[in-house]
Structure 1
Amino acid sequence: METNENLQNLIIKKIKEVFDPEIPVDVYELGLIYNVSIENKNDVYVSMTLTSPSCPVAEALPQQVKRKIEELKLINKVEVELTWQPSWNRSMISEEAKLTLGIL
């Protein structure tokens, strides 16, 4: 049986397969994922944001995250909530992504 920490790492690995269509960096490294929690019976709750409310993939990106997590056979149910609080800003980008984007 997977521990929550192992399962958390597997979920994050799946989330990292989702890329922002305009930036060559995954949504996790961009800092768009605020929280990943595993509830009873391996239900997963993800809180995420987008770079801006007018983002052209506002509907598609959370669904891509949800579908990627659902690929894990251990997962029972996935809920992805889109939030605008706190507002995303460039400081949320990981060091690795900043290097990729050339903004370090």
Structure 2
Amino acid sequence: MGTAASLQDRMIEALQSVIDPELGIDLVNLGLIYGMSLTDGVATVTMTLTTVGCPISQVLENMIGTALEKLPEIDEVKIDIVWEPVWSPSKMSRYARVALGYHMG
């Protein structure tokens, strides 16, 4: 169990290096990563985007692949973009809300 948890932690750490070019905050703190799994060296990242038809989705997919493939356990990365649940600023971490000056009532 320890190995799986540490791999999950390292995957999250790798994804924290992927910065949304428009917002300047990483995908984890933006709350865009909904889940991750690894099967036979293939990492699947379930995520959403801040907007449908996000013009930088391909850029983000490439950045995610590059970040995760640095981990020795990962040979290939698949991105599963979902629109449910819909992303909203409430999914951001406190850090992201403060950094973006987003105040929630």
Task: Tell me, yes or no, whether TM beats 0.5.
Answer: yes
Contact 2:43 2:74 in 1 (8 A): yes
Q: Which residue of structure 2 aligns with residue 101 of structure 1? A: 100
Does the 8 A contact of 1:48 with 1:81 survive in 2?
yes
Residue 27 of structure 2 is aligned to residue 13 of structure 1: no
User: In structure 2, what is the equivalent of residue 56 of structure 1?
Assistant: 55
Q: Provide TM-score, normalisation by structure 1.
A: 0.87
Q: TM-score, normalised by structure 2?
A: 0.86
The worse-fitting range, judged by mean Cα deviation, of 70-79 and 6-15 is: 70-79
Alpha-carbon distance, 1:4 to partner:
0.5
Are 1:45 and 2:48 matched, yes or no? no
Point out where structure 1 has 5 or more consecutive residues left out of the alignment. Answer: none
Runs of 4+ in 1 over 2 A off after TM superposition: none
5+ long unaligned stretches in structure 2 = none
The AA in structure 2 aligned to 1:23 is L
What percent identity do the matched residue pairs reach?
34
Aligned CA-pair RMSD:
1.5
- Report the count of equivalent residues: 102
Residue identity opposite 2:6 in structure 1: N
Residue 87 of structure 1 deviates from its aligned partner by 1.3
Query: 1:79: Cα distance to partner?
Result: 1.4
